[in-house]
């Protein structure tokens, strides 16, 4: 059974979330205290976290950062106040996969949760029994992307990515040279496209760029196409291939 952890100190919101999670036949654990939630999240097994930012005793952003360092693959959905854009951006930079602003509709919340779980389950399935095509490793200028093991390395050094970061990188790399708008990337990687959420893409792209920085040259694997979106760089064909 899918296990979802809800970390929310507002009783009305927590009750609403728990009710609808039960209707979807999800197993749930609920914490209203940040420190208790942190202890559980770092020691137990579960499939997804719905995490409020403003919590007693421990900030949700701190929990997100620590959780992401321990387990990059667990989907994290942040809940934020409507006027706290800076918190949303920081949360995404710390590794959250998505966010919802309060107040939110349960229909949208469930859609986000299902999209995150679907992507996470697909990743596990690919890791377990990859198809012949998925066995291929993309090699692009010393950047290695293995779709089956979901391992990325650059200059023979492994790079730790969240599930969303990996999906975004693989999608762009598999279609290198093609320009994608933020809306198209939201639809392809997150499974939805909504106005106002484009900076989710910006934040993930920035994180990817930081993780793909190199010391020996200035290769920029992901390029900004101003006024449109992003693309994977058309790096010299002589330096890339597949095995």
Between CA 47 and CA 33 the distance in angstroms is: 20
Q: What is the pLDDT of residue 97?
A: 87
Structure tokens at 104: 């939110």
What residues in the chain have per-residue pLDDT under 50?
127-135, 237-243
CB atoms within 10 A of CB 41: 23
Q: What is the pLDDT of residue 19?
A: 96
| Nearest C-alpha neighbor of 98 from the set 110, 83, 84, 113 | 113
Which strand ranges, in their side-by-side order, compose the sheet holding 27-31? Answer: 27-31, 3-7, 48-52, 76-81, 98-102
- 50-109 tens-digit pLDDT: 999 999 988 999 999 999 888 888 999 999 886 677 777 788 888 888 888 898 999 999
Domains annotated for the chain, with CATH where assigned, are 3-127 (3.40.50.2300), 130-242 (1.10.10.10)
Q: What is the pLDDT of residue 170?
A: 93
| Nearest C-alpha neighbor of 151 from the set 166, 133, 139 | 166
Q: What is the pLDDT of residue 49?
A: 97
**Burial degree of 230 (CB within 10 A; 0-12, 13-18, 19+):** buried
């Amino acid at each position: 059974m899918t296990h979802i952890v809800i970390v929310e100190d507002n009783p009305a919101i927590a009750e609403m979330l728990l009710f609808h999670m039960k209707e979807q036949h999800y197993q749930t654990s609920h914490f209203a205290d940040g420190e208790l939630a942190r202890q559980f999240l770092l020691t137990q097994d579960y499939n997804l976290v719905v995490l409020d930012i403003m919590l007693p005793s421990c900030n949700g952003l701190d929990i997100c950062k620590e959780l992401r360092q321990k387990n990059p693959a667990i989907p994290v959905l942040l809940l934020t106040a409507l006027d706290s854009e800076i918190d949303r951006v920081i949360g995404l930079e710390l590794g959250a996969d998505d966010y919802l602003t309060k107040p939110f509709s349960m229909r949208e919340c469930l859609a986000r949760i299902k999209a995150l779980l679907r992507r996470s389950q697909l990743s596990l399935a690919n890791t377990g029994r990859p198809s012949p095509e998925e066995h291929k490793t993309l090699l692009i200028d010393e950047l290695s992307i293995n779709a089956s093991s979901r391992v990325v390395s650059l200059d023979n050094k492994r790079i730790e990515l969240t599930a969303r970061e990996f999906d975004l990188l693989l999608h762009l790399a598999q279609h290198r040279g093609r320009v994608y708008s933020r809306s198209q990337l939201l639809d392809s990687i997150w499974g939805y496209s909504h106005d106002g959420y484009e900076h989710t893409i910006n934040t993930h792209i920035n994180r990817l760029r930081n993780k793909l920085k190199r010391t020996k040259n200035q290769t920029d694997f992901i390029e900004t196409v101003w006024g449109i979106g992003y693309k994977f760089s058309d790096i010299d064909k002589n330096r890339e291939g597949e095995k």
